Amino acid sequence: MERKINAFHLKIIAIVAMLINHIGQGFSIYEYNHFLFFSTEFIGKLTFPIMAYLLVEGFYYTKNLKKYMLRMALFWVISIYPFHLLHAQGTPFEPIELVNNIFFTLLMGLLMLRAIKKITNKGIRIFIVIVFSLLTAMSDWSVVGIFMIYGFYIIKDPKRKIISPCFHTTFFLFLIMLMGAVGAPDNVMWYMPITALGIFLVIPLLLNYNGERGLNNNFIKWGFYLFYPLHTIVLVLIRNLI
């Protein structure tokens, strides 16, 4: 069967899912409709796995890894305060929020891949992965994001490299959110662990990815990066107006 999904299509799906997710969170949709909020969280689970998979692709094929990492670092820094405004409305900015957004997790993923690239000892590789996962513990996707990136990188079988990281990430994210729901039921909705199953939506998309870039130019490339901080600012402005 012909694979018809290219990287451009995947990026569009990722940012639309992100927008839906951030609308749900930024406007506290759970205060009005729990099913609608659940849906925004479920759909939002599409975003990171797609970005993580394309990050690994980028690591393999980029002509300049340093520039790639610098772009991630730049948009990590640019996105810190907009992310705070959207998700921590009315609270003072805390130093721990310096690592609050997805670009930090992706940057740490790139650094992790660079660190393990020439290391053949499995024990040392796993140790490095654990270190980087701990560095992202307070970031978007917490400790599981780095392990998902590692899974996409280290597994070579085309189908297994997609299915296995998605299943393992779903399992561990479910456990993390379940502990949150049990330990702090006033802060974590009981249905939040179930939203981890949204990761499974990624599997058919990645299995149908044809490895091609699709529509790609400087405007498109930078547009995808800029979307993250810009859409958070727009959502904050809209929220302040209503």
SS3 call for 209: strand
Spacing of C-alpha 34 from chain mean position: 23
> How many other C-beta atoms can be found within 10 angstroms of the C-beta atom of residue 178?
16
Q: Per-residue pLDDT tens for 8-48?
A: 999 999 999 999 999 999 999 999 999 999 999 999 999 99
- In order of 48, 128, 132, the CA distances from 114 in angstroms are 20, 11, 12
pLDDT of residue 24: 98
Instruction: Select from 139, 79, 151 the least CA-distant residue to 108.
Output: 139
Domain ranges of the chain: 7-241
pLDDT tops 80 at residue 2: no
pTM score > 0.85 for this model? Answer: yes
67: which 2 tokens? 């520039």
Residues of the chain with pLDDT > 70: what percent? 100
Between the alpha carbon of residue 215 and those of residues 7, 12, 43, the distances in Å are 8, 11, 24
Residue 236 confidence (pLDDT) above 90 = yes
Q: What is the pLDDT of residue 1?
A: 59
Please state, in angstroms and as integers, the Cα–Cα distance from residue 113 to each residue in 23, 119, 146, following that order.
32, 10, 10
Asked if 212 contacts 6 with a C-beta cutoff of 8 angstroms, the reply is yes
Q: Which residues contact 150 (CB under 8 A, 6 or more apart)?
A: 112, 113, 116, 129
Q: What is the pLDDT of residues 85-143, one digit of tens each?
A: 999 888 999 999 999 999 999 999 999 999 999 899 999 999 999 999 999 999 999 99
Mean pLDDT of all residues belonging to the chain: 96
129 contacts 150 by C-beta, under 8 angstroms: yes
pLDDT at position 3, please? 79
